[in-house]
Amino acid sequence: MAVCEGSALVTLGIGEDEPARLGSYDPFGAVGHVHGAVWMLRSGRGLLAVDPADGTALWSVEADRKMVTDPLPYVDALLVGDADGGLRKVGPDGRTAEGCSLPGRRLDALAAAGDGGLFFAAKCTFGCFALAP
């Protein structure tokens, strides 16, 4: 997959001569693949999941807070953080399955830390904790 100019998504198949354009979308930053869908973070306002075969929308999630730009695939879901320190697990249908918050922390970034752990960067600090399915 590749992002073109922040609003178009294309897939590059092995052995294909030309990339397949999935479509144009509202400007988005991060992009990934989980549980058969391509997800995009739309300018920090929410998530959009599309079918990688034809680019049709499967589900979307609107954000009530600014979302962190690094959603992470986790088992068959996504871990999504927001700037107020909230974490939520978004399932393959776009529904929030679980949620929690990091008390007193403004979350700036998330990153996978091997063996199921999660690194986070927050205002004036960073840390790591383990995740259990």
| Residue range 33-79, pLDDT digits in tens | 777 787 777 765 788 888 888 888 888 888 777 787 677 887 778 88
Confidence of residue 1 (pLDDT cuts 50, 70, 90): low
Residue with tokens 């998504």: 9
* Separation between Cα atoms, residue 106 and residue 103, nearest integer Å: 9
Confidence of residue 86 (pLDDT cuts 50, 70, 90): confident
CB atoms within 10 A of CB 36: 12
pLDDT of residue 104: 65
* Separation between Cα atoms, residue 92 and residue 37, nearest integer Å: 8
Return all residues near 14 (Cβ < 8 A) that are at least 6 apart: none
Specify the range with the lowest mean pLDDT, choosing from 1-10, 75-84, 113-122: 1-10
This prediction's pTM = 0.67
